[in-house]
Chains A and B, each alone.
Chain A
Amino acid sequence: MSVLVDEVMKLSPPPSDQKASSKDFQSDQDVRWCPGCGDYSILAQTQRVMPDLGIPRHRMVFVSGIGCSSRFPYYMNTYGFHSIHGRATAIASGLKMARPELSMWVVTGDGDGLSIGGNHMIHLLRRNLDINVLLFNNQIYGLTKGQYSPTSEKGKITKSTPFGSIDYPFNPAALALGSSATFVARTLDRDPKHMQAIIKRAAEHKGTSFVEVYQNCNVFNDGAFFQFTEKDTKDDTVVYLEHGKPLTFGKEKDKGIRLNGFSPEVVSLKDGKWSVNDLLVHNEKDTTLSFILADMTYKSGLPRPIGIFLAIDRPVYEQEMVRQIVFAQEKRGDGDMVKLLNSGDTWTVQ
């Protein structure tokens, strides 16, 4: 750390910051999302979780790109950077490398993070910087008023696809796993408790945390996830992933997922043919399993997996960078500019 930054980090926070509440994380800016937008819930859950993390807000940075979700930093009373389309992950990476001690959050959407910013996203994930990515997936372009997104379902009719989209959608969780992410999770805007738990786990994870949030855009894609969030359907359409627990779902937990070869299938626990002991048991440390679970996403007849697909440890990029620097300084001493300038083949003119 440079001398000047070191001086800043020695400053003590005002006493009012000692016991923060969710309110302390609300900025003085008016929230300008459409009434009823799923973003409100994500903002509220994030602000609720923040005080529990034990990190003072002046050491938190929220970085975003462009899109509805990317307005998020303006509403957080932390440091924030509302940048350009798709680049939040790259800006956050640079900031994290420069300042590993900061708590870094990237807020992005399906367009910002997977379309224009897809390249930076996959590289962030494979490098494994300690950054938390909240990807709001509403399967539509909201800010530009309703074009299809890289997660929109095939055949979707939008302003730019009047005859139906011919694009096959990304499966964000599978993309993240394919990019060697170390933490991959999915949660729902209409399940506040679950979201809070996931955000907390993401914050605690050392390495890049990829959290896909199903978020309803009530103006341009209303109800896209209602089957997974509304009372009358959700029990049969969602399976919650819990570490060490068998995959059961249904109102009476009377259905489960078992592996038939490598393929998950739904079985009934009522007819006596299968019991809980036959079911797939979730293990968030198992990379192979994580791929199988993520692959359930668009398969008809299978419930949508929600929860933590994978949470494993791998060296954190910026720590590796620091390690090399410390090693070099121990070996060669702190860099001496005068020495450097006078190094190599020199000669003197009298």
Chain B
Amino acid sequence: MAEKTIQNLEEVTIRFAGDSGDGMQLTGTQFTNTTAILGNDLSTLPDYPAEIRAPAGTLFGVSGFQIHFGSTEINTPGDQCDVLVAMNAAALKVNLGSLIDGGTIIANSDGFNDKNLKLAGYASNPLTDGSLQKYHLHSVDITKLTGLAIQDMNLSSKLVDRSKNFFALGMMYWMYNRPMESTIDWIEKKFGNKPEIKEANLRVLKAGWNFSETTEIFAVRYEVGPAKLAPGKYRNITGNQALAWGLIAAAKKAKLDLFLGSYPITPASDILHELSVYKHFGVKTFQAEDEIAGVTSALGASFGGALGVTTTSGPGVALKTEAIGLAVMVELPLIIVNVQRGGPSTGLPTKTEQADLLQSLYGRNGEAPVPIIAAATPADCFETAFEASRIALKYMTPIFCLSDGYLGNGSEPWLIPDYNALPEIAPKFRTEKEGFFPYSRDEHTLSRPWAIPGTPGLEHRIGGLEKQHITGNVNYEPLNHEFMIKMRAEKVERIANEIPLAKVEGDSQGDLLVVGWGGTYGSIKSAVAHHRQKGNSVSHLHLRWLNPMPKNVGEILYKFKHILVPELNLGQLVKVLRAKYLVPAVGLNKIQGLPFKSIEIEKKIEEILRGTK
């Protein structure tokens, strides 16, 4: 056995890539969980096609999972990867561009046969034609080695093929010196009642490790020490899971039942899956016949005194629009979760985008103001969903809780919050008959009373027709209509009275302020940090509340010479800021279904700063 050197690294980005049936998401998730338990900071980016099992070997069938981890603070899934695990030729072709010069390729040579090469559009085999000279190429016949590891088990070639991702995982565990226990436990639980598959996967995982340990292909292995995270108990969490838990926590605090009406849609379905597990929390999940029934059933449940939630993505919001307008009119709490994806229309179902901000703000008939809150990181989805619920209940209003495909599927270590320290949510049902009117209002919040069916003496009717102030009776009088339109707008505006003031990361004045919202947080933060290290006058403002905006946003904007708004759309927040605050903000826009690389933002910042000097 050759002596292996161990090299210390601060941070590494690995990309696992293969056919959509190769189990790359699973491999990446396992590597992530193990890495999280080791105490690294991390950020992940699953990147998979809309096709469940695209034809094998094709470019469009490539599924990838990128993890960026380190002993330092990690804000993004990594602009480029240091290591590319390519299970076939197409995976190499699609992902080579994201590999750094001098990076490492671990290629499954069996995935580079003539057919694979042709499908990937390679004229000659890149593993042997010398075209990958600038990289550290390790060509390993993973398929064959997997087969050898379990050849005495007489498994079908299909089963052997399905196990090979564990070989690759074993190799990466060895290379980055990670313990395999967590994955071993997982395999034992997952395949407990399928002893053959369990045995095969365990053997292949260990074979991958042993192969790396024994052969002389790898001379170096790496050590990435734990990150200096704030003290406390951590777990790794995806955005969709965090969002689901935030909703459960809010319902529990509020002493209400959580009702989810939802229709499956990528990339939001995992929230439905997650919530359907927690029946012992009294969570009721309803897979409706369509998006409209998803939202209307949730609104019906809200009328009955539940915390009504509907989860979806952009196309689903389009269908729910009329019902959201109804929720505005009847002034009942309703959480609309939009895990945004590439649009328009069906667009890019599995890719991320943040192009539904204006839809959330204005996408309804009539003057129908709806508050909007957006999560910034995967773990932040918990707090965002919790806060959305708190405000919806307090102000008796529908609310948009925005996430996106990158946040929903991405994951990061999460400092587990103290449930008892979370803010109180204390909704009250109206029960006093004396002086009850369905549309009387709280003097501070302007919210109307929540009188649920079953309350003696408070029988009343609500609906989508314009309401008379106080009585709630149908009313078509011109001045009443204008009054009520303004009342509903004012109610949403008043939320600004209690949301925290916006906080600038960096100096509170200077040359350039980068303003972001949603899932761009990590990339902007990294880009701004790099510039600040260089001594440039750049700050970062990230908006959690998009409607209403914190009261001090204008003041903050006016203190910078330049305002840059990076967004994964054609410029939606920038439009709002320009209209609302009359500032000459400019956009940086990317609409590729992928998150920003921080270098892209860094470059744009540089451009602007250079122009100023």
CA distance A338 to B460 in the complex (A): 39
Which A residues lie within 8 Å of B4 (CB)? none
Q: A94-B298, A349-B234 are in contact. Are A335 and B288 (CB under 8 A)?
A: no
Give the chain A neighbours of B298 by CB distance below 8 A. Answer: 94
Q: How far is the CB of B327 from chain A (nearest CB, A)?
A: 10
> In the bound complex, do residue B457 and residue A13 qualify as a contact, i.e. CB atoms below 8 Å apart?
yes
B431 near A91 with CB under 8 A, answer no
In whole angstroms, what is the CA distance A322 to B278 when docked?
13
Please give the distance in Å from A186's CB to the nearest CB on chain B.
25
Q: Closest residue of chain A to B474, judged by CB?
A: A74
Q: Does A162 contact B (CB under 8 A)?
A: no
CA distance A8 to B255 in the complex (A): 13
| Bound CA–CA A44/B387 (angstroms) | 47
CA distance A42 to B464 in the complex (A): 23
Determine the distance from Cα of A120 to Cα of B36 in the docked complex, in whole angstroms: 45
A347 to B290, CA, bound (A): 41
Whole-angstrom CA separation of A98 from B454 in the bound complex: 12
| Binary contact track B447-478/A, C-beta < 8 Å → 1, others 0 | 00000111111111111110000000110000
The answer to whether A94 touches B286 (Cβ under 8 A) is yes
Is B289 in contact with A8, judged by CB distance below 8 angstroms? Answer: no
B279 in contact with A99 (CB, 8 Å): no
Question: Is the Cβ of B289 less than 8 Å from the Cβ of A347?
Answer: no
- Shortest distance in angstroms between B274's beta carbon and chain A's nearest beta carbon? 11
Residue from B39, B226, B230, B452 in contact with A8 in the complex, judged by beta carbons closer than 8 Å = B452
Q: Which of B87-95, B265-273, B301-309, B348-356 contacts A (4 or more CB under 8 A)?
A: B301-309
Question: Does B57 reach chain A (CB closer than 8 Å)?
Answer: no
C-alpha spacing A350/B326, complex, angstroms: 50
Q: Assess whether A87 is in contact with B292, with CB atoms less than 8 Å apart.
A: yes
CB-based contact B234/A348 at 8 Å: yes
In the complex, chain A residues whose CB is within 8 Å of the CB of B279: 324-325, 327-329
| Chain B: minimal CB distance from A306 (Å) | 30
Known: A73-B461, A87-B323, A349-B230. A14 touches B456 (CB 8 A): yes
Interface 1/0 per residue, A194-218 and B, CB below 8 Å: 0000000000000000000000000
Instruction: Scan residues 77-94 of chain A and give those whose CB is less than 8 A from a CB of chain B.
Output: 77-84, 87, 90-94
Q: Which of the listed residues B38, B322, B431, B456 has the most CB atoms from chain A within 10 Å of its own CB?
A: B456
Cβ contact within 8 Å between B301 and A83: no
- A 331-350 binary contact with B (CB < 8 Å = 1; else 0): 11111011011101111111
A317's nearest neighbour on chain B, judged by CB, is B286
B235/A346 in contact, CB under 8 A = yes
Q: Which residues does chain A contribute within 8 Å of B419, judged by CB atoms? A: 337-338, 341
State whether the Cβ of B76 lies closer than 8 Å to any Cβ in chain A.
no
Q: Is the pair A97, B234 in contact by a Cβ cutoff of 8 Å?
A: no
- Asked if A119 CB lies within 8 Å of chain B CBs, one says yes
A59 CA to B290 CA, complexed, in Å: 28
Query: Across the interface, do B297 and A91 meet the contact criterion of CB distance under 8 Å?
Result: yes
Q: Mark out the residues of chain B between 287 and 318 whose CB falls within 8 Å of any chain A CB in the assembled complex.
A: 288-290, 292-293, 296-301, 303-306, 308
A324 to B, closest residue via Cβ: B279
Cβ-neighbour of B300 out of A8, A58, A98 (below 8 A): A98
Contact call A82/B459, Cβ cutoff below 8 A: no
Q: Which of A12, A98, A342 contacts B257 (CB 8 A)?
A: A98
Interface centre among A3, A95, A344 (most CB of B within 10 A): A95
Whether B453 contacts A79 by the Cβ 8 Å rule is: yes
Q: Which range holds the interface residue count of chain B?
A: 35 or more
Bound state CA distance, A224 and B395, in angstroms? 48
CB pair A346 B464 closer than 8 Å:
no
Q: Are B280 and A325 in contact (CB under 8 A)?
A: yes
Q: Across the interface, do B289 and A3 meet the contact criterion of CB distance under 8 Å?
A: no
Tell me the minimal C-beta distance from B398 to chain A in angstroms: 14
Shortest distance from the beta carbon of B42 to any chain A beta carbon, whole Å: 12
The answer to whether B305 and A2 touch across the interface, beta carbons within 8 angstroms, is yes
A337 and B288 alpha carbons, distance in the complex (Å): 27
Closest to B293 in A: A90
The 0/1 profile, CB within 8 Å of B marked 1, for residues 268-301 of chain A is: 0000000000000000000000000000000000
Chain B positions 220 through 263: 1 when the CB is less than 8 Å from some CB of chain A, otherwise 0: 00000010011111111000000001001100101111010100
Inside 8 A of A9's CB, which chain B residues have their CB?
454
Give the CA-CA distance A12 to B281 in the complex, in Å.
28
B483 contacts A by Cβ under 8 Å: no
Minimum CB–CB distance from B336 to chain A (whole Å) comes to 14
Contacts of B232 in A (CB 8 A): 348-349
- In contact, B280 and A97 (Cβ under 8 angstroms): no
A56 within 8 A of B: yes
A313 to chain B, nearest CB (A): 23
* CA of A13 to CA of B322, assembled, Å: 36
Contact A120 B463 (CB under 8 A): no
> Contact at A349–B229, with CB atoms within 8 Å?
yes
Q: CB within 8 Å of B: which of A91-133?
A: 91-99, 101-102, 119-120, 123
Contact with B along A43-60 (1 / 0, CB 8 A): 000000000000011111
Complex contacts, A94 vs chain B, CB 8 Å: 259, 261, 286, 296-301, 304, 308
User: A34 at the A/B interface (Cβ < 8 Å)?
Assistant: no
Given A11-B456, A87-B296, the answer on whether A333 and B280 have CB atoms closer than 8 Å is yes
Q: Which residues of B contact A11 (CB under 8 A)?
A: 431, 455-456
Q: Judge if A27 is at the interface, Cβ distance under 8 Å.
A: yes
Selected contact of B322 from candidates A56, A78, A84, A92, CB within 8 Å:
A84
Residue of A nearest to B185 (CB): A345
User: Taking the complex as formed, is B102 at the interface, i.e. its CB lies under 8 A from any CB of chain A?
Assistant: no
**CA–CA, A61 to B459, complex, Å?**
9
Give bound CA distance, A340 to B242, whole Å: 11
Q: Is B37 an interface residue (CB 8 A)?
A: yes
Residues of A22-72 at the interface with B, using a CB-CB cut-off of 8 Å, are 27, 29, 56-61, 63, 66
Task: Enumerate chain A residues within 8 angstroms of B286, measured Cβ to Cβ.
Answer: 93-94, 97
Q: Across the interface, which residues of B come within 8 angstroms of A102, CB to CB?
A: 304, 453-454
Report B-chain residues with C-beta under 8 Å of the C-beta of A58. Answer: 453-459
**Are A82 and B462 in contact (CB-based, < 8 A)?**
yes
A340 and B459 contacting across the interface, CB-CB below 8 Å: no
A111 to B474, CA, bound (A): 23
Q: Which residues of chain B come closer than 8 Å to A57, judged between CB atoms?
A: 459
In the assembled complex, the Cα of A334 lies from the Cα of B39 at a distance in Å of 32
Find out whether the CB atom of B289 lies under 8 angstroms from the CB atom of A91: no
**B420 sits at the interface (CB 8 A):** yes
Residues on B with beta carbons closer than 8 Å to the beta carbon of A321: 284
The answer to whether B461 touches A331, judged by C-beta atoms less than 8 angstroms apart, is no
Q: Is the CB of A335 within 8 A of B230?
A: no
Which A residue sits closest to B290, measured CB to CB?
A: A119
Query: Is B299 in contact with A5, judged by CB distance below 8 angstroms?
Result: no
User: Within 8 Å of chain A (Cβ to Cβ): is B500?
Assistant: no
Contact check, A59 vs B234: say whether CB atoms are below 8 A apart.
no
Is B501 on the interface with A (CB-CB < 8 A)?
no
Docked pose: A160 CA to B325 CA in angstroms: 29
Q: How far is the CA of A285 from the CA of B235 in the complex (A)?
A: 56
Cβ contact within 8 Å between B454 and A334: no
A312 within 8 A of partner (CB) = no
CB pair B289–A81 under 8 Å, yes or no, is no
When the two chains form their complex, are residues A83 and B293 in contact, meaning their CB atoms are under 8 A apart? no
- For residue A1, CB closer than 8 A to chain B, the reply is yes
User: Across the interface, do B459 and A93 meet the contact criterion of CB distance under 8 Å?
Assistant: no
B182 within 8 A of A: yes
Q: Contact check: which of A13, A27, A80, A341 meets B416 at CB < 8 Å?
A: A341
- B292 and A98 form a contact (CB under 8 A): no
Verify if B429 is at the interface (C-beta below 8 Å from A).
yes
Q: How far is the CB of B311 from chain A (nearest CB, A)?
A: 14
Q: How far is the CA of A164 from the CA of B479 in the complex (A)?
A: 43
Complex interface residues of chain B between 364 and 420 (CB less than 8 A to chain A): 416-417, 419-420
**A residues bordering B, Cβ < 8 Å?**
1-5, 7-9, 11-14, 17, 27, 29, 56-61, 63, 66, 73-74, 76-84, 87, 90-99, 101-102, 119-120, 123, 321, 324-325, 327-329, 331-335, 337-338, 340-342, 344-350
Some 5 contacts from A to B, beta carbons below 8 A apart, are A5-B257, A74-B474, A84-B296, A87-B323, A329-B279
> A82-B465, A83-B464, A325-B282 given. 14 additional CB < 8 A pairs?
A1-B257, A5-B454, A58-B458, A59-B454, A80-B463, A84-B325, A93-B286, A94-B301, A97-B297, A340-B245, A340-B278, A345-B37, A345-B236, A347-B235
